Amino acid sequence: MLTQEFMREVRRLEIRTRRRVDALFAGEYHSAFKGRGIEFAEVREYEPGDDVRSIDWNATARSGRTFVKRFIEERQLSVVVSVDVSASGGFGSVSRLKSRVGAEVAAALCLAATRNNDLVGLQLFSDGVERFVPPKKGRGYVVRLMRDLLEFAPEGRQTNIDEALLELTRVLHQRSLIFVVSDFRVSDTSSLERVLRRLDRKHEVIAVRVTDPRERELPRIGLVELVDPETGERAVFDTNSAGVRRAWRERYSEQERSVDRMLRTARVDCVDVSTDRPFIHDLVRYFQVREGRR
């Protein structure tokens, strides 16, 4: 049963993300994602300056006057936002958890798609697919997706992006734009690369990587016991040691570079967002860069 407080939280999330979408990147989203092609609209009489290649010879022959075909852009896309709900999202050293940032990013993308009359769906995954809501249209439908983002309690704790994306290859029959929102803390990048290459045969995938500054750099605060949220493994680190902090930083950077190389090889764009800054500007910047490549 949904409590009034929970529904108020859904409403707050909708208002918060809707303002960001309307004020900052609805236009950039529209420009960056043009739709699947063009569709025939009508025929009209030829006017000087029209492209002769658009002449409708059948209509011209029937009427004795020159007519051209007019086409319009087919705007509607099928968009799926795939969100990592594993236990590693429960970390945050600033003001928000990674999971909260991921939920807000997903909500903003869903709203932007809806504003552009696109179909939008949602996938939630941990070490398996926890929930899949197929792409549909409508404001009420997006509110349901936001409710799922906020209320869902995953059964799994670990991360298996491969399985989530393989499931999308099985259930998505229409070419789709897929946003994968995750911290991408994966050990086997070669396996994920193979899955992304397979998905790329029919769909387009964009990675949205959610990070926190403390994952990159340990603070100097003495002995600290850290727990891996996905495995439960515990370890003690002496953060006063420059060597320990350097090893931590180098290990993180190498893992990050490994994921970057894998995504480039798989031809997947990556947008980096963080818990310590407004994610909306990172999305806007990516949409503008993408539009510039068209």
Query: What is the spatial distance between Cα 36 and Cα 120, in angstroms, rounded to a whole number?
Result: 15
Boundary residue ending a domain (47, 74, 101): 74
State the pLDDT at residue 137: 87
Together in a domain, 53 and 188: no
Q: C-alpha distances in angstroms, 244 versus 217, 219, 223, 232, 241?
A: 10, 11, 11, 21, 5
The DSSP letter of residue 24 is I
Judge whether residue 171 has pLDDT over 80.
yes
**Do 133 and 42 fall into the same domain?**
no
Domain at 142, CATH number: 3.40.50.410
Same domain, 185 and 218: yes
Give the model confidence (pLDDT) of 48-95 as tens digits. 777 777 788 888 898 888 988 775 445 578 999 999 999 999 998 888
96-106 pLDDT tens trace: 899 999 998 99
24, 53, 74 — which closes off a domain? 74
User: Distance from first CA to last CA of the chain, Å, rounded?
Assistant: 47
Is 198 exposed, middle or buried (CB count within 10 Å of its CB: 0-12, 13-18, 19+)?
A: middle
Using 50, 70 and 90 to split pLDDT, how confident is the model at 9?
low
Predicted pLDDT of residue 16: 65
**11 and 67 co-located in one domain:** no
Q: pLDDT digits over 184-222, tens only?
A: 998 889 999 999 999 989 999 999 999 999 999 999 999
In terms of residue numbers, what domain contains 121?
4-33+76-293
The answer to whether 164 and 123 have CB atoms below 8 angstroms apart is yes
CA 251 from chain center: how many Å?
26
Burial (CB count <10 Å: 0-12, 13-18, 19+), residue 91:
middle
pLDDT at 123 over 80: yes
User: How many structural domains is the chain composed of?
Assistant: 2
Token pair for 7:
């529904």
Look up the pTM and report it: 0.81
How far apart are the C-alpha atoms of 176 and 155, rounded to whole Å? 27
Do 67 and 212 lie in a common domain? no
